[in-house]
Chains A and B, each alone.
Chain A
Amino acid sequence: MSLQDRREHMERCTRCSQCKWVPIPASKQFSSICPSIEYGSFHAYSGGGKNITAYAMLENKASYSGDLVRSVYACTMCGACDTMCKFLQGENVDLLSNLYELRARIASDGQAPKVYDDLRKQLREEGTFLGKRHERSRWAQGLSIKDITQRPADVFLHVGCNNAYDASRWRELTFIVSLLDKAGIDFGIAFDAEVNSGGVAFDLGFQEDARQLAEQTLALFRASKARTIVTCSADSYATFRNIYPRLGLSIEADILHVTQFVSSLVKEGRLKIDARSSETLTYHDACRLGRLSEPFEPWNGSRIKVLEQLSVQDPPQRVRFGVGGHYEVPRDLLAQIRGAEIVEMERNREYSYCCGAGGAASKAYPEFAQMAAASRLDEAVAAGATTLVTASSTCTSHLATVAEQRNMPLKVKGLFELLADLTGEMSS
């Protein structure tokens, strides 16, 4: 796939600006769906604007500049514009695919923001952009967990970079481990052999780096012979389901997010949630657990004209409308907390607003990422929540930091962090 291959799709953009908005806003304040246009204001920052930039590059009508790069990279690749574009345009534009190729072109031209050079180097050398390779499993020190690279296990527990390197997330990890132990699951982790799954490199346009990381990850999975991969990382979950198929790669085992796995254990009666709270909780749908985790299905076909003038995909292509993400299971888990009131933010599920943490945009444009988080936190407060809960550690870390900076009357918790707080542990 190349930018040129996307031309026909790009041409279908009507410049309707639906990619800036939720379909039917519940208020003016929370009507936007795109942090990038909120930040940059010029149309070029919107999903549709980036699409025009891509097309203008093909037509030699856009030359590289600081403004061009900022308008493309001050963006979390959250996919909301794609979901909204598909709302109106169905299969016509397939915006997210255009954005991936736009970034790939910019990156291969060596024009991506310079801060990403370091990130890339670190990814190559350390297998992560958050620390050193040998520090990856510090969180697991003192725990008795099977090393799946040495001994086989039924379940490969995939940890994810943010969980592994952000010490504030370790409590969640140890809690998850305790749950799996309680339920009698035969599982293991890859300790320092795990590497970044490649999603961030792909988002930034470094598709070859992404492929290499993906292949390393797949090799680990294959070698483990585990039938089930359970990932604690929303970022990786989206990468496995949405990015790997774009790279022509597939995973032979079943892939589950840890919320799904734990929820199924609860349903099977192998775990019981015994938690009580008087808080008002709201759930933040992380983009990468939600709309971006909807599986991508490779398609090889063309457009044909039917009914004289109607252009359709032949053979039919499965279109990702954002509804195939992972929305209800985390809510079901929260709903089991007795006494807690659960309220929805105005922008939820496939229309969720990105908190600004994704796609490593915060590395190049921290003020952009903070702006997005502030809007999301305000929305939680407006919904009446006292605690915002999310099932992505990247979102949790970022939202918690911004909430603290802004001194907000709102707690930010990871879902398992909250359960750990409320139960101390789950009973089996």
Chain B
Amino acid sequence: MTLLSTEVFNELCTILGAAYVNRDDNFLASHDWVGIGGSSATKTLLGNPPGAIVLPSSTEEVAAVVKTCVKHGIKFKAHSTGYGNLAGVGTAGSVCIDLRRMNRLQIDAANQMAILEPYVTAGQLLAEARKVGLFCHVIGAGPVHSPLASATSFCGVGLPGNFTSNNARNLLSLEWVTPMGEIVRIGSAGSGEDWFTGEGPGPGFRGILRGVLGSLGGLGVFTKIGYKLHPWSGPQKMELTGRNPLLGMRLPPNFKFHQVAWDSWEAMSAATFEFNAANIVTVMTRVPPDCIGLMLTQTNREYYDSFKSGQLPPVARSDAGYGWSMLLTAYSDEEIKYKEEVFDAIVHRTGGREVPTTQEEQELLALTLTTSIHVGRSGRRGMGGGTSMGVLDSFALLPKVAKLTEELMEDPLAKGWMINAHPDQNWMWPSEGRHFWTENAPNCDRTDLEATAGNMEYTLASFNKADQRGGDVGISAFLIGDAADLYGPGLGHVNDWMRKTKNAFDPQNLSDSKAYIQPEMTTVAKVWPLAKKFLFRPAFKSVLHNAMKRLVT
């Protein structure tokens, strides 16, 4: 039963037309579903439905909806494609602003940018950008996610980041409906000129509104952005190979795929500096071998049978070594020849080796590196799991971070809480040829309470380790919800600045995200400085585990 009053419902209908406002039970349920492990992983229907779903078609309509909510003191939350575990509203009865009807896209090829609305998907943008020799960044969520949501509100690192950067930096200009319902345009968009740059005079709004993570719906609604595109030497139309689901991309002569491995994280790290300096690799990404195995098989059963019988190809075996999937691209024969020569020299000099791959494997992995299309397929193994600190720092940290997280996984692996394939579930890639991103992200069956709690524990332990080590393993990017107060103090007291921003722009706390910082510190956050001294000690393991169990049920 909806919690929204008929008065407000009718007002929303007047703004948008009755066809675009709905509070039917089953429509609300479809915005109350979490299918990927996270804070409430073991449930799917959360019992936290919105009071209504609205489908505005313009920024002005969004602003009018927000003003109505402000007038009645009702919470609201923006929703783009809704992929992921933070898409639902924070509070039952809030208005879900589903931006599906706002999907306009304009490409400014000469200036290598797109101006797009929230419901343009990465797949659509890629298709249109390629037609004019450009490419866009695609995060791991793949072609179905919203680049606007990612660029404004939720992290934004991704597999092709070596050449497409990350979304904190791809975000140029911005149109924003503030939590009070004002329409603000930022950077050159605000000057009424072209949507060219995100920063005008004065403090940078991109930092205030998003930082490395984004405000996850906690700071109003972003309705349009200028978004950076990147030059693409590949074909204007991607020629697909293979059949559902084992799709690949035809590699043109000026594209070369390599799977390279070294014998240790140290050797891989050293070689990576050389590759970054040489600037010859377009995409370099490390997909954990188990995940490559899942991408190369059609079903979980097929994966398991191949795993058990030792039939997985070399690229998907845990003894594949420590290395990268790499895509070299060029505009001419001479350029690719030069890149290949430099590539061979670096691999040789650094003691690397090529892991054998078939043409089909190369095509499938090349499509993954550029579009992330198969990333979600590797997630099919459990839909629950944990993650480690996301490190946005120097490649020198690679060996230390990988080993540290693998140590943290020993205990949960022994307890059977993670898919017991290998403790190396390390996803890695550079952003713009320098920043190092990694997550050691194990999976579990999201319906298994003990395991889901165990994975949350691993995530927290990993954040804690980063906190204790005072930055020598990079930063914890995922300061989601309470985590901002738990770990913000160790990161320049960023939580204080987030809170000031939240309270300044949203004085009534109506922009309804439980995933962004709350106006007041919660009790958990207040007791944390003391609690963390004990919780991670062996004697308190069961206390932490039980607390995590409560969190996920």
Q: Which residues of A pack against B, CB within 8 Å?
A: 10-18, 20-28, 31, 41-44, 48-49, 52-53, 55-57, 59, 61-63, 65, 67-68, 71, 83, 86-92, 305-314, 316-317, 319, 321-323, 349-351
Partner of B416, one of A15, A18, A63, A308: A308
Tell me the bound Cα distance from A20 to B302 in angstroms: 26
Residues from chain B with Cβ under 8 Å of A309 in the complex: 381-382, 416-420, 443-445, 448, 451
Residues from chain A with Cβ under 8 Å of B380 in the complex: 88-90, 92
Tell me the bound Cα distance from A67 to B52 in angstroms: 14
Tell me the bound Cα distance from A42 to B44 in angstroms: 19
* Per-residue A-contact encoding for B232-247, CB less than 8 Å = 1, 0 else: 0000011010011101
Tell me the bound Cα distance from A233 to B216 in angstroms: 51
Residues from chain B with Cβ under 8 Å of A88 in the complex: 245, 376-377, 380
Q: Is B143 on the interface with A (CB-CB < 8 A)?
A: yes
Q: Is B393 on the interface with A (CB-CB < 8 A)?
A: no
Contact present for B29 and A61 (CB under 8 Å): yes
Contact present for A41 and B29 (CB under 8 Å): no
Residues from chain A with Cβ under 8 Å of B141 in the complex: 16
Residues from chain B with Cβ under 8 Å of A10 in the complex: 44
* Per-residue A-contact encoding for B296-317, CB less than 8 Å = 1, 0 else: 0011111111010000000000
A49 smallest CB distance to B (angstroms): 4
Q: Is B83 on the interface with A (CB-CB < 8 A)?
A: yes
Q: Which residues of B pack against A, CB within 8 Å?
A: 20, 22, 24-27, 29-31, 33-36, 44-45, 53, 55, 81-83, 87, 98, 100-101, 105, 120-121, 123-128, 131, 141, 143-144, 237-238, 240, 243-245, 247, 298-305, 307, 367, 371, 373, 376-377, 379-383, 416-421, 443-445, 447-448, 451
Tell me the bound Cα distance from A105 to B197 in angstroms: 54
Contact present for B300 and A92 (CB under 8 Å): yes
Contact present for B448 and A316 (CB under 8 Å): no
* B382 to A, closest residue via Cβ: A309
Tell me the bound Cα distance from A17 to B125 in angstroms: 17
Partner of B367, one of A24, A67, A319: A24
Residues from chain A with Cβ under 8 Å of B30 in the complex: 42-44, 48-49, 52-53
Residues from chain B with Cβ under 8 Å of A43 in the complex: 27, 30-31, 82, 98
B327 smallest CB distance to A (angstroms): 16
Contact present for A27 and B245 (CB under 8 Å): no
Residues from chain A with Cβ under 8 Å of B98 in the complex: 42-43
* A305 to B, closest residue via Cβ: B445
- 18 extra interchain contacts, Cβ-Cβ under 8 A, other than A28-B127, A83-B244, A308-B418? A11-B44, A17-B144, A18-B376, A24-B371, A27-B127, A28-B120, A31-B127, A42-B53, A43-B31, A55-B29, A56-B26, A59-B45, A63-B26, A306-B304, A310-B303, A311-B445, A313-B299, A323-B243
Partner of B383, one of A12, A57, A319: A12
Interface core residue of A44, A48, A49 (most chain B CB under 10 Å): A44
Contact present for A17 and B244 (CB under 8 Å): no
Contact present for A91 and B301 (CB under 8 Å): yes
Tell me the bound Cα distance from A308 to B423 in angstroms: 13
- Given A14-B35, A24-B238, A307-B421, do A321 and B245 touch, yes or no (CB 8 Å)? yes
Tell me the bound Cα distance from A55 to B25 in angstroms: 12
B290 smallest CB distance to A (angstroms): 9
Partner of A68, one of B20, B26, B299, B367: B26
Residues from chain A with Cβ under 8 Å of B31 in the complex: 43
Tell me the bound Cα distance from A411 to B298 in angstroms: 39
Contact present for A316 and B305 (CB under 8 Å): yes
Residues from chain A with Cβ under 8 Å of B36 in the complex: 14-15
Tell me the bound Cα distance from A187 to B27 in angstroms: 52
* B307 to A, closest residue via Cβ: A307
Residues from chain A with Cβ under 8 Å of B55 in the complex: 41-42
- Given A20-B144, A42-B27, do A55 and B299 touch, yes or no (CB 8 Å)? no
A35 smallest CB distance to B (angstroms): 15
Contact present for B45 and A61 (CB under 8 Å): yes
Tell me the bound Cα distance from A86 to B243 in angstroms: 12
Interface core residue of B87, B144, B237, B373 (most chain A CB under 10 Å): B144
Contact present for B373 and A24 (CB under 8 Å): yes
Residues from chain B with Cβ under 8 Å of A305 in the complex: 445
* A15 to B, closest residue via Cβ: B35
Partner of A55, one of B45, B245, B307: B45
Contact present for A15 and B26 (CB under 8 Å): no
A105 smallest CB distance to B (angstroms): 13
- Given A25-B123, A87-B245, A321-B243, do A62 and B29 touch, yes or no (CB 8 Å)? yes
Tell me the bound Cα distance from A152 to B35 in angstroms: 55
Give 21 pairs: A residue, B residue, CB < 8 Å, sorted on A. A12-B383, A24-B123, A25-B126, A28-B127, A41-B20, A43-B31, A52-B26, A52-B30, A56-B25, A56-B26, A86-B244, A88-B245, A88-B376, A90-B380, A91-B299, A91-B301, A308-B417, A312-B300, A314-B301, A322-B244, A323-B244
Contact present for B26 and A313 (CB under 8 Å): no
Contact present for A28 and B83 (CB under 8 Å): no
Contact present for A87 and B377 (CB under 8 Å): yes
Interface core residue of A14, A48, A314 (most chain B CB under 10 Å): A14
Tell me the bound Cα distance from A56 to B380 in angstroms: 22
Interface core residue of A13, A307, A322 (most chain B CB under 10 Å): A307
Interface core residue of B243, B245, B377 (most chain A CB under 10 Å): B245
Residues from chain B with Cβ under 8 Å of A23 in the complex: 123, 143, 244, 247, 373
Tell me the bound Cα distance from A314 to B376 in angstroms: 23
* A312 to B, closest residue via Cβ: B301
Closest 10 CB pairs of A and B: A14-B35, A62-B26, A56-B29, A28-B124, A308-B420, A308-B416, A90-B299, A67-B24, A87-B245, A312-B301
Contact present for B419 and A310 (CB under 8 Å): yes
A384 smallest CB distance to B (angstroms): 14
Contact present for B300 and A90 (CB under 8 Å): yes
A101 smallest CB distance to B (angstroms): 16
Partner of A17, one of B83, B300, B303: B83
* B25 to A, closest residue via Cβ: A62
* B24 to A, closest residue via Cβ: A67
A405 smallest CB distance to B (angstroms): 23
Contact present for B244 and A351 (CB under 8 Å): yes
Residues from chain A with Cβ under 8 Å of B101 in the complex: 41
Contact present for B81 and A67 (CB under 8 Å): no
Tell me the bound Cα distance from A317 to B305 in angstroms: 13
Tell me the bound Cα distance from A22 to B247 in angstroms: 12
Contact present for A65 and B29 (CB under 8 Å): no
Tell me the bound Cα distance from A28 to B22 in angstroms: 27
Tell me the bound Cα distance from A426 to B528 in angstroms: 83
A394 smallest CB distance to B (angstroms): 24
Residues from chain A with Cβ under 8 Å of B301 in the complex: 91, 312-314, 316-317
Residues from chain B with Cβ under 8 Å of A65 in the complex: 24-26
Residues from chain B with Cβ under 8 Å of A89 in the complex: 377, 380
Tell me the bound Cα distance from A323 to B141 in angstroms: 24
Residues from chain A with Cβ under 8 Å of B125 in the complex: 28
A43 smallest CB distance to B (angstroms): 4
